[in-house]
Amino acid sequence: MKITSATFLGSAVGGDQFPPEDLPELAFAGRSNVGKSSLINYLLNRRSLARTSSTPGKTQTINFYEINGAFRFVDLPGYGYAKVSKAEKAKWGSFIELYLRERKKLVEIILLLDVRRKVGEDDIQMLNFIRAMGYQGRVVLTKIDKLNQSQIVRARRDIEDKLGVPKEHIFIISNLKAKGKYPLWESFNKLFQEKGFPINLERQISPEQKNA
């Protein structure tokens, strides 16, 4: 299967605005500014399908993207955005929680972490929540273009040791340099197949193919 279509389905600010639960979904979670929306664009070879911004707090709604009419990517609002009031944070938190708790065809939750940053309390909370919901979680370390090889290896090992994430569930990505998406796609294919969805994305021919 190649990506033949990727469309923005809509945004939700409440549970009644979620699309029907007819297709499998993969959700992208993580701190604000970590690169969730950028990763969705990179995975789908689209420059600006998902809106990105250098200012944290860009995505404040749950955004649904439908691919090939077969599955969806779900861009969750980022947490840890300092300018938001406590009440607002609580509201977002429970809204994200509602989605993660109730979504029947949610296949897996992908947690993004900035490779340069110390893992925060809220990251750990999110990972614990993912596990408490019965998901394994996948961890994507973003912005690897900002570090050298040995720093990346160290960051990766830290996630393994300190957060107890198995090696095969950790991925390293540069959205900026378009690097690292194929191993992630492979893991998505595996997840879909494990859950019985006949989805198998092929490697696309693209200029990055030679360095991925």
Q: Which one of 37, 142, 174, 175 is in contact with Mg ion (CB under 5 A)?
A: 37
Give the rounded distance of the alpha carbon of 89 from its chain centre: 20
Q: Does 146 bind ligand GTP (CB under 6 A)?
A: yes
Q: Using the minimum distance from each CB to ligand GTP, give the nearer residue, 49 or 106.
A: 49
Q: Which is nearer to ligand GTP, 35 or 137 (CB)?
A: 35
With CB under 6 A as the rule, give the number of residues binding ligand GTP.
24
Q: For Mg ion, which is the closer residue by CB, 92 or 192?
A: 92
Among 10, 19, 56, 120, binds ligand GTP (CB under 6 A): 56
Q: Exposure of 100 by Cβ count < 10 A (0-12 exposed, 13-18 middle, 19+ buried)? A: buried
Which of ligand GTP, Mg ion, none sits in contact with 175, Cβ below 5 to 8 A by type?
Answer: ligand GTP
63 scored as a contact of ligand GTP (CB under 6 A): no
Sign of torsion, CA 148 139 11 8?
Answer: positive
Q: Which is nearer to Mg ion, 41 or 59 (CB)?
A: 59
Amino acid symbol at 131? R
On the 0-12 / 13-18 / 19+ scale of CB atoms within 10 A, 206 is exposed
CA-based nearest residue to 107, from 171, 195, 183, 1 = 195
Contact predicate 110/43, CB 8 Å = no
Residues 27-46 that bind ligand GTP (CB under 6 A): 30, 32-38
Q: What are phi and psi of 164, to 5 degrees?
A: 65, 35
When asked if residue 32 is in the footprint of Mg ion (CB under 5 A), the reply is no
The yes or no reply on residue 38 touching Mg ion (CB under 5 A) is no
Q: Where does this chain bind ligand GTP (CB under 6 A)?
A: 30, 32-38, 52-54, 56-59, 77-78, 142-143, 145-146, 174-176
